Structure 1
Amino acid sequence: MADSTTNLKMPFILPSQAQKHVTHNEALLALDALVHLTIAEERAAPPESPADGRCYAIATGATGAWADQAGKIAAWQDGVWNYLHPKTGWRAWFTEEDRLKVYADAGWQEIPLPDRADFTELGINATADESNRLAVSSPASLFNHAGQGHQIKVNKAASGDTASLLFQTNWSGRAEMGLAGDDAFSIKLSDGSIWKTALHISPAGHVTRPQQPAARLFRSGFSFTPTDGQQSGFTDFAVDQGGVTLGASTAGGGNRVVVPVDGLYLVSLQVRAASSFGYTTTLLVNGTQPILTLVGTSGGSQSQSSTGIFALSAGDFLTLGHAGSATFEAGAGKTELSILLI
């Protein structure tokens, strides 16, 4: 008959054994350490003042009283170290790490997650809730391929619902991309209070940029005749998108055209004269800088046009500068200015 148990190595009380209480107490001490096993930490050197009953996992390279005891559990009991040899499958709560570990492959390992699991909520370094049932707090997240590729799927129940990615600053939405309330793909931006659609792609694949500055302007009425040296402007929009506005009035009639944002603009100017004694019409930036010039001859009805790409700044204004004498036709499709942010 063996003199100790197979798994925990607790000593048996043997026939005709003297001082049986010593053997019995030794078994009780082992049970006291191993039942609901709690280990303070894994370390190589024993602590200077261990608390009674405190257990430690002895690390490789053990020194001092623990020399030659690496891999065992050291339990401080009744003023001495008792050593217990862990076996595969033992579990212990490590108090310094707040982790439950299992002994396997001659070491204490994190208990692995199951291959399959269902969770109502899951927080990874974060707190999940009813709305955010998966919550992750991390410097980065990696979704890698298993095979040739990888897809992230965001599904919605019906066309009028939303399936999107929302980007926030301090928990306030600033950008959103996806299917927001319909089946068109859109990218929306916000300043924290107002949302605007920057890009819209229809289910048929047609792309529009609703906030892209684009305007075609004309002057109301039938005709206008500016005097030599005057500047004139425009009064009406045939196309109006992206914040192009009309500013202060000009001496030759109409209003300045105000640029909404910085950028490169495609600018096109067309003038149509009903009659002329020779004229020059110049498109001016801020009243002084010429960017397009059209020259007419003396005679009857005629038209000229010119197009160019120019860098303009938010707040710049455009006007027409006139030299010579002519009567220009007003109305849509006649004397017009078009600008488009490209």
Structure 2
Amino acid sequence: MPQNSPRLNLPYLQPSQAQKHVTHNEALRQLDIITQLCVAKINATIPPVAPDQGEVHALGNTPTGDWAGHAGSLAVWLDNAWHFVPPRIGWRAWDESEEKLLVWDGNSWMPPPVATENLDGVGIATGYDSTNRLSVRSPATLLSHDGGGHQVKINKADASDTASLLFQSNWTGHAEMGLTGNTGFTIKVSPDGGTWTNALSIDPASGTASGAAVQTSADDTTPGRLMRADYGYGPGNLLGTVSENIGIPTGAVLERGATPNGDYIRFADGTQICTVTLPAIGCTTSEGALFASDAAVWDFPMAFATGSTVAVSGGGGASARFIGFEAPTETQVAFKVLSTTSDATPLPPTAVAIGRWF
């Protein structure tokens, strides 16, 4: 029959053994040391000066003094002497100094393994429930990278479900953003958690924006709303090509240009102004009490709208001269320069035509 038990090394009582109580008490003392094991310190190296009876230390790799040569063992102070017990794999001990449970893995004392998959829930400094299976009570929550980028993913089952972030005050929702009932990104706000307004929605196919925070039409001037690029004007479309659709401007605010026939400017409201400095001309042909230049035609640099009324005015180039215009068409006007005296001096007249381009 062996002298000691195979796992805990407890001494057996032997047949015909004298003073069996000694062996029995030694086994009880061994059990007293390792059962419900609590250690004063883990990886201890220096024996305390005045240990308490039954005080246990888990020794480190380089113990000194009375502990020398017992690396990794449990050192127990009993009857004014240190007793040493080598731990076995799987032994558990409560670390009194750190207040945590540890397990001996054959080389060191480690935290016990914890199953982290398929948990019912996790509550950090608070409790979880069947809806909020992960609950965190903290001034802040940090999710950091692992050497590169980092994503936070919220996945829903179907397009009609919700995948969003809900912002609450005293457990009442006041703002929500995400995929709420469709696949377009939406930002919603609420004054009371019951009535909600879609402030901003972004179409997933086109990327265009709509919602209560955005203009609904070109003439929507509701205070506080964001201006849509196709309804408003900015540095990119103040100057450019003007255009319209059924009388509603669809292009730039102003269009300015020049041709060999003069300069023009078009406004988004349909107004067009054409200006020109005509070739120098003299006035020597007698017409009644006045003297006239040869008849000429000004072809407008840009045509006016068909059927529109064009107003033309101008100057003859000198105080004694003026221009006489015939009725203009949408594309040109005939004119003569008139003078109160016969004057062959070639002077350039100017002209302005105002009308509509649509």
TM (norm. structure 2) is 0.52
| Alpha-carbon distance between aligned partners in 1 of 2:49 and 2:201, rounded to the nearest angstrom | 67
User: 1:61 aligns to what?
Assistant: 62
User: 2:142 aligns to what?
Assistant: 139
Can you give the 5+ residue segments of structure 2 that lack an aligned partner in the other structure? Answer: 239-251, 254-267, 276-303, 305-309, 313-327, 331-351
User: 1:272 aligns to what?
Assistant: 270
Helix, strand or coil at the partner of 1:207:
coil
Instruction: Please tell me the residue identity of whatever aligns with 1:200.
Output: I
Instruction: Please tell me the residue identity of whatever aligns with 1:140.
Output: L
User: 1:201 aligns to what?
Assistant: 203
**Any conservation in 2 of the 1:73–1:85 contact (CA below 8 Å)?**
yes
| The structure with more strand, counted as a fraction of residues | 1
TM-superposed CA distance for 1:6, in Å, is 1.6
1:75 paired with 2:76, answer yes
TM-superposed CA distance for 1:134, in Å, is 1.7
TM-superposed CA distance for 1:48, in Å, is 3.4
Helix, strand or coil at the partner of 1:86:
coil
User: 1:102 aligns to what?
Assistant: 103
**Residues 215 and 129 of structure 1, relative CA distance in 2, 3 Å threshold:** closer
- RMSD across aligned positions (CA): 4.8
TM-superposed CA distance for 1:31, in Å, is 0.6
The structure with the largest alpha-carbon Rg is 2
User: 2:323 aligns to what?
Assistant: none
**Any conservation in 2 of the 1:277–1:298 contact (CA below 8 Å)?**
no
**Residues 187 and 103 of structure 1, relative CA distance in 2, 3 Å threshold:** same
User: 1:253 aligns to what?
Assistant: none
Instruction: Please tell me the residue identity of whatever aligns with 1:106.
Output: N
**Any conservation in 1 of the 2:74–2:85 contact (CA below 8 Å)?**
yes
TM-superposed CA distance for 1:151, in Å, is 9.9
**Any conservation in 2 of the 1:213–1:241 contact (CA below 8 Å)?**
no
Equivalent residues in 2 for 1:78-157, closer than 5 Å: 78-114=79-115, 117-123=117-123, 127-135=127-135, 139-140=142-143, 152=153, 154-156=155-157
Helix, strand or coil at the partner of 1:22:
helix
Instruction: Please tell me the residue identity of whatever aligns with 1:184.
Output: T
Q: Deviations over 1:238-280 (max 9, x none)?
A: 68696269xxxxxxxxxxxxx9xxx977444224349x899xx
| Alpha-carbon distance between aligned partners in 1 of 2:146 and 2:165, rounded to the nearest angstrom | 16
% identity of equivalent residues: 32
**Residues 185 and 75 of structure 1, relative CA distance in 2, 3 Å threshold:** farther
Helix, strand or coil at the partner of 2:88:
coil
TM-superposed CA distance for 1:326, in Å, is 11
| Alpha-carbon distance between aligned partners in 1 of 2:226 and 2:89, rounded to the nearest angstrom | 75
Instruction: Please tell me the residue identity of whatever aligns with 2:225.
Output: G
**Any conservation in 2 of the 1:271–1:328 contact (CA below 8 Å)?**
no
Helix, strand or coil at the partner of 2:22:
helix
User: 2:295 aligns to what?
Assistant: none
Helix, strand or coil at the partner of 2:210:
coil
Instruction: Please tell me the residue identity of whatever aligns with 1:121.
Output: G
| Alpha-carbon distance between aligned partners in 2 of 1:327 and 1:70, rounded to the nearest angstrom | 105
1:33 paired with 2:33, answer yes
TM-superposed CA distance for 1:8, in Å, is 1.2
**Residues 271 and 155 of structure 1, relative CA distance in 2, 3 Å threshold:** closer
TM-superposed CA distance for 1:60, in Å, is 0.9
TM-superposed CA distance for 1:109, in Å, is 2.3
Q: Deviations over 1:93-119 (max 9, x none)?
A: 3333343332223222222234x8533
**Residues 166 and 272 of structure 1, relative CA distance in 2, 3 Å threshold:** same
User: 2:257 aligns to what?
Assistant: none
Q: Deviations over 1:47-66 (max 9, x none)?
A: 33433333221111111221
1:243 paired with 2:218, answer no
Q: Deviations over 1:110-155 (max 9, x none)?
A: 22234x85332123576434432123575325699xxxxx995622
Instruction: Please tell me the residue identity of whatever aligns with 2:93.
Output: A
Larger displacement relative to structure 2 (88-97 or 265-274): 265-274
Helix, strand or coil at the partner of 1:88:
coil
Equivalent residues in 2 for 1:274-293, closer than 5 Å: none
Instruction: Please tell me the residue identity of whatever aligns with 1:55.
Output: V
TM-superposed CA distance for 1:187, in Å, is 4.3
| Alpha-carbon distance between aligned partners in 1 of 2:354 and 2:153, rounded to the nearest angstrom | 63
TM-superposed CA distance for 1:213, in Å, is 6.1
| Alpha-carbon distance between aligned partners in 2 of 1:49 and 1:2, rounded to the nearest angstrom | 37
**Residues 266 and 64 of structure 1, relative CA distance in 2, 3 Å threshold:** farther
Can you give the 5+ residue segments of structure 1 that lack an aligned partner in the other structure? Answer: 145-149, 218-236, 246-258, 279-295, 303-324, 335-342
**Any conservation in 1 of the 2:39–2:94 contact (CA below 8 Å)?**
yes
**Any conservation in 2 of the 1:72–1:85 contact (CA below 8 Å)?**
yes
**Any conservation in 2 of the 1:40–1:54 contact (CA below 8 Å)?**
yes
TM-superposed CA distance for 1:30, in Å, is 0.9
Instruction: Please tell me the residue identity of whatever aligns with 2:142.
Output: P
**Residues 188 and 326 of structure 1, relative CA distance in 2, 3 Å threshold:** farther
What number of residue pairs does the alignment pair up? Answer: 247
**Residues 16 and 166 of structure 1, relative CA distance in 2, 3 Å threshold:** same
Instruction: Please tell me the residue identity of whatever aligns with 1:5.
Output: S
**Any conservation in 2 of the 1:154–1:164 contact (CA below 8 Å)?**
no
TM-superposed CA distance for 1:39, in Å, is 2.5
User: 2:339 aligns to what?
Assistant: none
